[in-house]
Amino acid sequence: MARKVKIKDTDYLFISAYVHAKGAKLIGNEQLMRMLEAKSAEDAYKVLEENGWPLAGTLDAGHLAQILAERREEAFSDMASLAPNPKIVDLFRIRYDYHNAKVLIKSQAKGIKENELLLGSGRFSPKKLNEIVLEERYQELPKTFADAYIDALDTLSRTGDPQISDFILDRAYFEEYLVSARETGSRFLTDYARLTIDSYNLKAVVRSARMKKDGNFLKQALAPGGTVPVAEIFDAYISVDMAIALFRKTALRKILDLAEEAVKGGRLTEFERLTDSVSAIFLADAKTEGFNEKPLIRYLFAVEAEISAVRIIMAGQFSGLPAETVRKRLREGL
């Protein structure tokens, strides 16, 4: 087992000031609203150019995707080169490996060789990961990741059910994420990881109940590692209200009424948006005493949020959607 990294608070003295300055240059709500109200995609992108983004030239969805990917990778690489503990940045890369694994498994099943849904910024480039899995060089991947990829690929081949295949990868993702968070030695990151797993599991309960799925389906959808044990959730699922009530001892307690409404046919997207917002509030409310890893972590999440918001607005501009429709998607994080 990897040893936890010992970092002194003073090691974060420089980077705390650095990310504060970098964070001030991120796209804010005022600029996002200007983009939203712009008359064209080109006019919307000019707002970004005014804030130091690269000149776009001919702008289309493919070019924008490349710009966003480069911005994310620049932030990750920048922080990794400066952070006293680069393992923190690696945590942000893990999700892209698992996203790409899902894409590659479905592509293999359909015989697709190229897929524009692959994303950079993982621990492995899309090209490298594709080579590894096609040549079955699984020993080059972290064991949890490799085992999950093989299992998910086999499951999709046997069952033809991509959802079950995705569940396997989701469980492995959260396992790797939680282990890696603990290895950084950051209690803050570990608590965040466990809250994220709780959020995922609460969503799984609500979705399963809405689809009238039984406990065996839910068991496959749950991920261990949260503050609410999966065995307790599974046992309580004989009554959906009982299963939801288990989360009253977590930071999700304020949205459980919405969870119950969503089970009965209420707005699922609103419930899921607010579930995700609990994690965002956790990040924003965490007190920073002295110099530590929290400003770095907040900055990386802020970069991810900026990229997501720009992607949603620009997608709306390319599609000619009304501003109010895009504004709704921004609220829902779609």
Predicted pLDDT at 283: 80
Give the rounded distance of the alpha carbon of 223 from its chain centre.
Answer: 15
> Looking at the structure, do residues 165 and 194 belong to the same domain, yes or no?
no
Short-list 145, 143, 59, 157, CA closest to 110: 157
Structure tokens at 23: 């964070």
Region class of 287: left (phi > 0), else alpha (psi between -120 and 50), else beta: beta
251 and 229 within one domain:
yes
Last residue within a domain, chosen from 119, 150, 183: 183
Residue 265: predicted pLDDT: 92
Burial of 54 (0-12, 13-18, 19+ CB in 10 A): exposed
Asked if 255 and 278 count as a contact pair (C-beta separation under 8 A), the reply is yes
The closest of 95, 83, 111 to 16, measured between CA atoms, is: 83
Q: Are 32 and 305 a contacting pair, CB within 8 Å?
A: no
pLDDT of residue 290: 58
153 and 201 inside one domain: no
Residues 76 and 111 in one domain: no
What is residue 116's predicted lDDT score, i.e. its pLDDT? 82
- Residue 117: per-residue pLDDT: 87
Count structural domains, the chain.
3
Q: How many alpha carbons fall within 13 Å on the CB side of residue 44?
A: 24
Chunk the chain into consecutive blocks of 10 residues (it has 334) and report each block's average pLDDT, rounded to whole numbers: 53 86 93 94 94 83 90 95 90 97 93 83 95 96 98 96 97 98 92 96 97 96 98 97 96 94 92 87 70 86 94 94 88 61
Contact 334, 312 (CB under 8 A): yes
**Same domain as 136, residue 218:** no
Closest CA to 286 of 172, 220, 195: 195
CA–CA distance, 206 with 259 (Å, rounded to integer): 6
Could you tell me if 219 and 173 lie in one domain?
no
Q: Please identify, among 183, 214, 247, the residue that sits at the C-terminal boundary of a domain.
A: 183
Q: Tell me, what's the pLDDT at 6? A: 54
User: Are 246 and 318 within one domain?
Assistant: no
Q: What is the CATH number of the domain that holds 327?
A: 1.10.132.50
Q: Which residues of 278-293 are buried (b: 16+ CB within 10 A; e: fewer)?
A: bbeebbeeeeeeebbb
Last-in-domain residue among 166, 183, 200: 183
pLDDT of the residue at 287: 61
Q: Quick check: 119 and 125 in contact, CB under 8 A?
A: no
Q: Are residues 124 and 35 part of one domain?
A: no
Q: How much is the pLDDT for 311? A: 94
pTM score of the predicted model: 0.89
CA nearest 246: which of 258, 263, 229, 271? 229
Same domain, 203 and 233: yes
Say whether 112 sits in a helix, a strand or coil: coil
Based on the fold, state whether residues 61 and 100 are members of the same structural domain. no
Domain that holds residue 59: 1-85+293-334
Examine the domain organization and report whether 204 and 249 are in the same domain.
Answer: yes
Crossing angle of helices 13-23 and 61-82, rounded to 10°: 160
Length of the chain: 334
- Same domain for 284 and 301? no
E strand segments, 182-294:
none
